[in-house]
């Protein structure tokens, strides 16, 4: 299916992707060949064996030279293929081969090749043709705002991007049910979320968030019309935002297993290291809070804490293990 994609950014930031479906009837081009007028008699029509007699078939003409021989290198290709048409081997000056290779040989040539005719071709969409289309469409477009010349500025002024697709096909009906789908993309860094709100938003949203690009994608297709889906998507975004800022009473019961990342304070690791260090020191110091706080201030303990946090959050690897080993050795002064 040949398709034309064009994205036009309008003021609101809605993008429309249009497509042409190729279901038009193929234009039938008539071959015009300079065949000699007097052709030898062929046997067509009635079984007339020798070609003499009253039921002589229309004499068959020679196919003649293919058009490709007469094409200049700098010809206007748009004249040859002005619109989407099936593959015509004699009009295309390329030695194209397609198909499964003959045993011990190569794929069959283009002449009489059904495979090439079956597949869609984009010979009518060369860069020159596209340029002409653009020139033709320009009167219908408005200017791109000159202030928005970088991506960063676009993201800053228009953080919410809505994407939907339009479909065109030549068939019995203009409508396409896939046209109702709306994708809403927004970067979480552009929303005003604090730490708790961000974590809650991530939990609410789940799979729809991509960590690498920090983009939340909401896809709606539950309503039959695009307008309704767009409204629903905007509503979802609003609700998510406000809900993640709220603090429910049951959220206070968040346990260690629910945490997204490892926090060293009040973890068994902290208790262990403090116990060990207290025991290592002179026994007379006492086991009070001040001694613990003092120990926590020390550089080796901070390094140890960093290494444990890195180990737990990033997972294990040679480098994290090595860092942990060095930190432990320093802390225990081995």
DSSP state of 195: H
CA Rg value for the chain: 36
Question: Between residues 56 and 312, which has the closer beta carbon with respect to other proteins?
Answer: 312
Q: Could you say which of 132, 280, 285, 287 contacts other proteins (CB under 8 A)?
A: 280
Mark the segment that binds other proteins (CB under 8 A) among 175-183, 203-211, 223-231, 326-334.
Answer: 326-334
Torsion of CA 308, 314, 316, 319, to 10 degrees: -80
Question: Closest distance between other proteins and the C-beta of residue 297, in Å?
Answer: 18
268-280 and 299-314 helices, crossing angle to 10°:
150
Residues 283 and 286: their CA atoms lie apart, in Å, by 7
CB 122 within 8 A of CB 130: no
Residues 27 and 289: their CA atoms lie apart, in Å, by 90
Q: Rule CB under 8 A: is residue 331 a binding residue for other proteins?
A: yes
Interactions with other proteins, residue window 258-277 (CB under 8 A)? 267-269, 272-273, 275-276
Mark the segment that binds other proteins (CB under 8 A) among 57-65, 118-126, 207-215, 303-311.
Answer: 303-311
| Site string (207-236) toward other proteins, x via CB under 8 A | ------------------------------
Query: 10 Å Cβ neighbour count for 244?
Result: 21
Mark the segment that binds other proteins (CB under 8 A) among 25-33, 215-223, 230-238, 318-326.
Answer: 318-326
Q: Rule CB under 8 A: is residue 299 a binding residue for other proteins?
A: no
Question: Between residues 216 and 331, which has the closer beta carbon with respect to other proteins?
Answer: 331
Nearest to 300 by CA among 332, 268, 276: 332
Nearest to 96 by CA among 82, 116, 81, 76: 116
The residues binding other proteins (CB under 8 A) are 267-269, 272-273, 275-276, 279-280, 304, 308, 311-312, 316-318, 321, 324-325, 328-329, 331-332, 334
């Amino acid at each position: 299916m040949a398709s034309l994609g064009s994205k036009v950014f309008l003021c609101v930031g809605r993008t429309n992707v249009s497509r042409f479906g190729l279901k038009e009837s193929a234009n039938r081009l008539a071959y015009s060949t300079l065949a000699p007028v007097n052709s030898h008699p062929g046997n067509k029509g009635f079984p007339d064996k020798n070609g003499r007699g009253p039921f002589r078939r229309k004499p068959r003409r020679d196919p003649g030279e293919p058009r490709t021989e007469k094409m200049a290198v700098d010809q206007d290709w748009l004249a040859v293929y002005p619109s989407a048409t099936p593959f015509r081997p004699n009009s295309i000056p390329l030695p194209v081969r397609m198909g499964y290779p003959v045993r011990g040989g190569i794929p069959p040539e283009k002449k009489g090749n059904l495979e090439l005719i079956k597949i869609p071709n984009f010979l009518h969409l060369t860069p020159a043709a596209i340029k002409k289309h653009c020139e033709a469409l320009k009167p219908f477009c408005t200017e791109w705002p000159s202030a928005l010349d970088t991506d960063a500025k676009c993201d800053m002024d228009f953080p919410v991007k809505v994407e939907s697709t339009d479909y065109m096909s030549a068939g019995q009906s203009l409508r396409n049910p896939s046209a109702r789908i709306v994708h809403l993309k927004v970067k979480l860094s552009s929303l005003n979320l604090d730490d708790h709100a961000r974590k809650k938003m991530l939990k609410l949203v789940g799979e729809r968030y991509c960590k690498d690009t920090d983009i939340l994608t909401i896809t709606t297709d539950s309503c039959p019309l695009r307008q309704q889906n767009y409204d629903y998507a905007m509503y979802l975004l609003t609700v998510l935002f406000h809900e993640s800022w709220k603090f429910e009473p049951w959220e206070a019961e968040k346990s260690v297993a629910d945490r997204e990342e490892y926090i060293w304070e009040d973890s068994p690791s902290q208790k262990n290291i403090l116990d060990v260090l207290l025991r290592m020191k002179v026994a007379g110091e006492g086991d009070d809070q001040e001694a613990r706080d003092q120990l926590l201030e020390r550089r080796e303990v901070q390094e140890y804490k960093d290494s444990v946090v890195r180990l737990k959050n990033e997972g294990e690897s040679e480098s994290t293990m090595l860092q942990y080993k060095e930190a432990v050795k320093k802390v225990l002064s081995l």
